Amino acid sequence: MIAAMLRRSVPLMLILALSDALDTAQATDETAYGAWTVRCEEVDSDGQPDCIMYQNLVMRTGGQPVLQISVGFAPPDNQPTVVLNLPLGIYLPPGIGIRIDDTPPARFPVERCDPDGCQAVMKLRDTTVAQLRGGRKLEIEFHDGERQPLEMPLSLDGFGAAFDAVAD
């Protein structure tokens, strides 16, 4: 049972480590594609840059981070993976809702919370990537500490070009 838990946890830990490393390390390359930014960092032994695409939402007053969405390709299957970073103090049981344009929301659990915030991780299927490429807006829904739903709008402008840049 422990071995099975470790097999499931290792890919999550790797993408979270990559996301954290790219947040704290000096980026070797950062390029904007519409509302998305692609950040690349040389972190692997073969000298190839590891890249993620991301978008941040911050409060207008004070600049406090509210949400960060990152997309990258996580080992071992190299499947596109989303990591959502959310603030501490959110209500966890409903999880996270993801809505592309006017489609019904897909629900995902919050994977973990640590002193830096809470994270939800999900793999992207080809059909979802196609919807994101053709969409206009992405809404992330979570609940605040008083159990009230919050919907955070994100632009999908530039998603396709940023995804292609990360996939290369």
Q: pLDDT per position in the chain (168 positions), as tens?
A: 333 333 343 343 334 444 444 444 454 789 999 999 999 987 666 666 789 999 999 888 877 888 999 999 988 888 999 999 999 999 999 999 999 999 999 999 999 999 999 999 999 999 999 999 999 999 999 999 999 999 999 999 999 999 999 998
CATH number at residue 136: 2.60.40.1880
Q: At 90, list the tokens.
A: 């959110």
Query: What gap in Å lies between CA 152 and CA 167, rounded to an integer?
Result: 26
Which residue range forms the structural domain that includes residue 105? 2-167
Q: Please, is 27 exposed, middle or buried when counting C-beta atoms within 10 Å of its C-beta (0-12, 13-18, 19+)?
A: middle
C-alpha triplet 90, 21, 51: angle, nearest 5°: 100
Tally of structural domains, the chain: 1
161 pairs with which residues across the strands?
none
Give CA separation, 106 vs 139, 149, 158, in Å.
11, 15, 22
**Could you give the maximum distance between any two Cα atoms of the chain, in Å?**
48
Q: What amino acid occupies position 130?
A: A
For the whole model, what pTM was predicted?
0.79
Q: What amino acid occupies position 54?
A: Y
Write out pLDDT tens, residues 89-117: 999 999 999 999 999 999 999 999 999 99
The pLDDT value given to residue 26: 52
